[in-house]
Structure 1
């Protein structure tokens, strides 16, 4: 690892927009029914009052009442009590009530822009909102950019060109933006973690690590925590390496704890104590994302298993095998676990026992996501609708 200060930013990697820009363990593959930790068969049973389609693929054991819709809104996640999503090439922030807080106008000269799911390419402070875009233009390489918007109005302030292929993980604290990037050259063995000064609009330090797939990043109490194959702890002021741990990929932050999965172990890292505090062995090779609520981890894998694991005892509370591969972390809200499978089917499972409450086919992309907040769930294409989830039938 090398740490270097960069005065004036990387050459050609930071271009303020001109005024005219504003114009414009292997999982089983058999068919045996899943069981919970007590050995009880947890295969979902048909509901007597389920609303089934001609194909028999729809289950709605809870009432989904339309609350509001925003046409075209997808890749939606929840941040700071609001729904945040992409609408065409721009970011749209929507309140719980369905009011559009603002919709950006990126002025992207290359037209279509993309940004990651689950908030990895999103960060904000009181003054700014930061969004990672990958511009699909006419040139051979399409560098990843960070667009900086006014936090109150959505007006584009400037664009920071990273010179990298992707940005995986961003966080902003005070007058600095921190991010991990992936290089264009997939044979490149090092990826940068950077601190970018918002006042001077320049990179103030960069540290490189031997991986070409950085994932999660967060900042806490003067330290940057980033996963680059291992979990690295860096001094936020200088970029110097302070510590490193384990074989980590993505983590999920819940208050002052980081939860992670590294193949056959689910663990926790206490940000206050700066140490790992828990390890639970698991049977499946789960995906790199998980969600932790009330000391229970909800995890999925590419073989279609969705599981709830008690982190105090290490036991599987329930496990269900859905129809298709699951990617991305499950979303837990108001007692329901929401997930998409690779066939674009929306699932809602009871968080306590894993019983299927909702099964609905959609036309969303396979890497799209459902999002939920305080009893309201947003379902993308073709509905683009937030539904209130009734509890009277549960």
Structure 2
């Protein structure tokens, strides 16, 4: 599989794209031995289909392969991954209740959790889709699918943002950034009040950047306003009420959205790890994890981790979770910031924790997938997949970018 380099405290993400359209409908093929609704064939870029070895919370448990190709932790109280449908192998993200895959750098596929394909859109020559499990330029809601792109070296324009019909994938409009070498990527896309807000920047060092945050009309793509920055990378954008939160590598800028007046700048230690908004709170990662009220931006709580936090925040029902360069998984109470538990995996944690249905899922840089109980930190599942893999969980289905199979998550 072709891979892009990843952004971390040590390296920069280089993934993006543009979009033309080929719309398709139908379903993805059901994997042999799995349960679910049969679907017709639409495979991914790599074959796989079998989960790797799995262990229990005890390091002495032996891997077991369940009938029908499922992977099990070997105990009724633990997790089993059961193949559900195929055609899922590629960069993957979740938005608006659906999975979004990038089966190549130039195609975007939208798939429902049951494996039904909604559409597939073909990207324009010279542009690469900005879609990953994290740090991606994808946003979807009832008004449309909005995806950013990176311009290849051979084109003389900047990055693009495409607006697609949410059901057919048909292109509605395209916004193109200037071809000045400073705005080759469009990332950090969000939508609020009929406005698509996104950031454009380039590669290189932070002091070489001149990023722009733009607001364009959701219907026409016409620019409404812009905010020019003098330096630094922009990693995330959140809009709530009349506040716009722009996260840069080591800072957070808060604007009045209606006027774009800069209200406050704060120094942070998040690096390239993105913040996460959930309900009325913005959770900011870093060596100090912070919870800010939305839309006011007041600090609800903060906690010093004492470690080199290396991921964005995973938000659950009761806890928030981050990973570190030395392999620690740290959990804090969502409402108070009180320490819940910590555990450790083998290898750097760069992928943000994914929290769903009371389970915290962790990917290590060396290639292991682990699952912990959100409340207690008990290890429920572990298997080896591939170094640097990415994954997401939606409606009880786990997808990763290595295997051609979507897995139903079952607990004994």
In 2, the alpha carbon distance for the partners of 1:310 and 1:259 equals 12
Local SS of the residue matching 1:131: strand
Equivalent of 2:382, from 347, 359, 365?
359
Give the structure 2 partner of residue 153 of structure 1.
168
Give the structure 1 partner of residue 372 of structure 2.
349
> Aligned-pair distance for 1:271?
0.9
In 1, the alpha carbon distance for the partners of 2:235 and 2:307 equals 21
Please tell me whether residue 329 in structure 1 is matched to residue 352 in structure 2: yes
Instruction: Output the TM-score relative to the length of structure 2.
Output: 0.75
> Aligned-pair distance for 1:309?
2.2
Give the structure 2 partner of residue 267 of structure 1.
290
Instruction: Output the TM-score relative to the length of structure 1.
Output: 0.78
Measured at CA, do residues 125 and 143 of structure 1 come closer, stay the same or move farther in structure 2, by a change above 3 Å?
Answer: same
For residues 307-328 of structure 1, give each alpha carbon's deviation from its aligned partner in whole angstroms, at most 9, with x where no partner exists. 2223556444322221211112
Give the structure 1 partner of residue 112 of structure 2.
95
Give the structure 2 partner of residue 224 of structure 1.
244
In 1, the alpha carbon distance for the partners of 2:22 and 2:276 equals 38
Largest Rg, 1 or 2: 1
Please tell me whether residue 75 in structure 1 is matched to residue 91 in structure 2: yes
Local SS of the residue matching 1:104: strand
Give the structure 1 partner of residue 394 of structure 2.
373
Q: Which structure 1 segments of 5+ residues have no match?
A: 1-15, 25-42, 53-57
Question: For the Cα contact (< 8 Å) 2:135–2:187, is it kept in 1?
Answer: no
Please tell me whether residue 127 in structure 1 is matched to residue 143 in structure 2: yes
In 1, the alpha carbon distance for the partners of 2:157 and 2:60 equals 50
Give the structure 2 partner of residue 294 of structure 1.
317
Q: Which stretch shifts more, 283-292 or 184-193?
A: 184-193
Equivalent of 1:254, from 278, 285, 299?
278
Q: How many residues align?
A: 345
Question: For the Cα contact (< 8 Å) 2:158–2:176, is it kept in 1?
Answer: yes
Q: Which structure 2 segments of 5+ residues have no match?
A: 1-17, 24-55, 66-70
In 2, the alpha carbon distance for the partners of 1:284 and 1:224 equals 29
Measured at CA, do residues 319 and 133 of structure 1 come closer, stay the same or move farther in structure 2, by a change above 3 Å?
Answer: same
Question: For the Cα contact (< 8 Å) 1:280–1:311, is it kept in 2?
Answer: no
In 2, the alpha carbon distance for the partners of 1:290 and 1:22 equals 34
In 2, the alpha carbon distance for the partners of 1:23 and 1:103 equals 6
Please tell me whether residue 317 in structure 1 is matched to residue 340 in structure 2: yes
Give the structure 2 partner of residue 31 of structure 1.
none
Question: For the Cα contact (< 8 Å) 2:102–2:129, is it kept in 1?
Answer: no
Q: Which stretch shifts more, 183-192 or 144-153?
A: 183-192
For residues 257-308 of structure 1, give each alpha carbon's deviation from its aligned partner in whole angstroms, at most 9, with x where no partner exists. 1001232x11111114441211122121212401122341211012211122
In 1, the alpha carbon distance for the partners of 2:111 and 2:130 equals 19
Give the structure 1 partner of residue 263 of structure 2.
242
Question: For the Cα contact (< 8 Å) 1:65–1:388, is it kept in 2?
Answer: yes
Question: For the Cα contact (< 8 Å) 1:59–1:360, is it kept in 2?
Answer: no
Where does 1:143-182 land on structure 2 (aligned, <5 Å)?
143-163=158-178, 164-182=183-201
